[in-house]
Amino acid sequence: MQKDLVRLKWYACILTLLVVAAGLFAFTRIERFGEISVERINIVESNGQVRMVISNKSRSPEVMAYGKPIKPPIPGGNRPGLVFYNDEGTENGGLVFMGGKDSSGKYTATGHLSFDQYNQNQVLYLTYADENGDQNTGLHIDDWQTSPAFWQWRGDYKKAQALPNGPDKEALLKRLMEPQPGQQAYAQRVFVGKDDSKTAMVNLADRMGRTRLQLLVDSSGTAKLNFLDANGRVTYSLPQ
């Protein structure tokens, strides 16, 4: 009887080890598929923190900061593609794309690859935007303030927009957009691309987002270099 008990214990131990080994093998082996169809894939770290989400339109994630939806929330469900997250679980860029016609036959098309400043909005992005032939395509480089965080600034701006129209509202909006004299909360500083007139251009702007230097080649091949003042007036051109 004693020998039988010892033998059963050995059988139980061996069986347990085999089950554990089989389970570990099932979760660590690399599967290969010829084709898969999914609505969303979450790429996560070993601790479960999300680093990238690949999704269709309806399953796209909310905008996240430190692993939680920002407030006021920016809902998902409208940006198919990839969303990137930094080491702290905060969204910091992505690749999105969409396009199609509406009931009137007019179309829109968009492709957008962006990278965000830490705790702020996008500062480097490639965009193709087409509103039924009204195109803007190119590389953008923006300035963003370093504080407050984008989601806090956005929340304050949304609250200000909801105030009754009047001098107080306008002053608050201006203060949010220009927290320091001569410096915008955000401003486009560089644009390299083309517009809907088929003009290729390089625009360089000041800290207020005002274009101060332009290099242009229009659709007929005519090249021009423009210097502009703070009011947008051309002060000098080459060739003259």
Among 116, 76, 75, 64, residue whose Cα is nearest residue 94 = 116
Give the range among 15-29, 84-98, 112-126, 220-234 with minimum mean pLDDT. 15-29
| Res 77: pLDDT | 78
Give the range among 71-80, 133-142, 190-199 with minimum mean pLDDT. 71-80
CB 191 within 8 A of CB 210: no
| Res 136: pLDDT | 87
Q: What is the mean pLDDT of residues 26-47?
A: 85
- If 0-12 CB within 10 Å is exposed, 13-18 middle and 19+ buried, where does residue 143 land? buried
| Res 232: pLDDT | 93
| Res 3: pLDDT | 54
Is 60 exceeded by the pLDDT of residue 26? no
DSSP 75-131: --SS--EEEEE-TTS-EEEEEEEEEEE-TTS-EEEEEEEEEEPTTS-EEEEEEEEEE
pLDDT category at 78 given cuts 50, 70, 90 is: confident
CB 240 within 8 A of CB 225: no
Is 80 exceeded by the pLDDT of residue 127? yes
- If 0-12 CB within 10 Å is exposed, 13-18 middle and 19+ buried, where does residue 152 land? middle
Give the whole-angstrom CA distance, residue 164 versus residue 198: 42
Is 90 exceeded by the pLDDT of residue 16? no
Q: How far is CA 164 from CA 137, 168, 170, 176, 197, in A?
A: 37, 9, 10, 17, 39
High-pLDDT (> 90) share of the chain, %: 76
Give the range among 19-28, 96-105, 109-118, 172-181 with minimum mean pLDDT. 19-28
Its pTM stands at 0.82
Q: What is the mean pLDDT of residues 14-20?
A: 57
* 114 Ramachandran zone, left/alpha/beta (phi>0; psi -120 to 50): beta
